[in-house]
């Protein structure tokens, strides 16, 4: 079957098997930030945005993305770079395997709620598996990022 989608801003058409998963499709097209972890929709490593909403690409058939927009971390480099530095600063990227999925979910959270409370952060990111750090570094990184963002927006509004 032939499908067409917009992947990270680029229109792509491909002939696929009907049972191909979205994770395999995006990886076949060079999006290696999308990782295979549990293959049971429990770890968050394969998170992508499908029409701007986070989905687990190990649980979505590629055919379901036909005519839609798929965004991976490769398509969000500027947005992710700013936030990712705060995660790294807290030592939360020990092995780095979970980072792409974690960052994708954090960006989705920030799009939904610009300044979430700690409980909201914990709840939203509960589906991300990290075997190294115990999540406290990620939480500190998010909190530091949010504090920086608030300070930055305050300084920008003072200039106006």
Domain 2-74 has CATH 2.40.70.10: no
Tens of pLDDT, residue by residue over 115-125, are 999 999 988 87
Tell me the fold of 76-155: DNA polymerase; domain 1 (1.10.150)
Residues of the chain with CATH 3.10.20.30: 2-74
Residues 6+ apart with CB under 8 A from 144: 86, 89, 90
Residues 6+ apart with CB under 8 A from 48: 22, 26, 31, 34, 54, 55, 57, 70, 71, 72, 104
Q: Is residue 91 packed enough to be buried (19+ CB in 10 Å), middle (13-18) or exposed (0-12)? A: middle
Q: What are phi and psi of 120, to 5 degrees?
A: -65, -40
Cα distance between residue 68 and residue 11, in whole Å = 10
Residue 133 has pLDDT above 80, yes or no: no
Tens of pLDDT, residue by residue over 82-105, are 888 888 888 766 677 778 888 999
Residues of the chain with CATH 1.10.150.120: 76-155
- For the chain, where are the E strands, in sequence order? 2-7, 10-15, 47-50, 53-56, 69-71
Q: Which residues pair with 61 in a beta bridge?
A: 21
Token pair 């429990």 in the structure block, residue: 42
Residues 6+ apart with CB under 8 A from 85: none
Tens of pLDDT, residue by residue over 9-57, are 999 999 999 999 999 999 999 999 999 988 788 888 999 999 999 999 9
């Amino acid at each position: 079957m032939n499908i067409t989608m917009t992947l990270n801003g680029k229109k792509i058409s491909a002939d696929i098997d009907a049972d191909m998963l979205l994770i395999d499709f995006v990886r076949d097209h060079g999006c290696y930030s999308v990782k295979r972890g549990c293959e049971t929709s429990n770890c968050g490593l394969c998170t992508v945005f499908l029409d701007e909403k986070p989905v687990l690409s190990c649980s979505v058939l590629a055919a379901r993305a036909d005519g839609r927009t798929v965004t991976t971390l490769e398509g969000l480099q500027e947005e992710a770079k700013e936030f990712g530095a705060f995660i790294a600063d807290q030592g939360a990227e020990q092995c780095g395997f979970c980072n792409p999925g974690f960052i994708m979910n954090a960006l989705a959270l920030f799009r939904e709620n610009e300044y979430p409370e700690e409980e909201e952060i914990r709840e939203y990111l509960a589906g991300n598996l990290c075997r190294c750090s115990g999540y406290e570094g990620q939480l500190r990184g998010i909190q530091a990022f949010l504090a920086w963002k608030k300070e930055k927006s305050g300084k920008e509004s003072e200039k106006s």
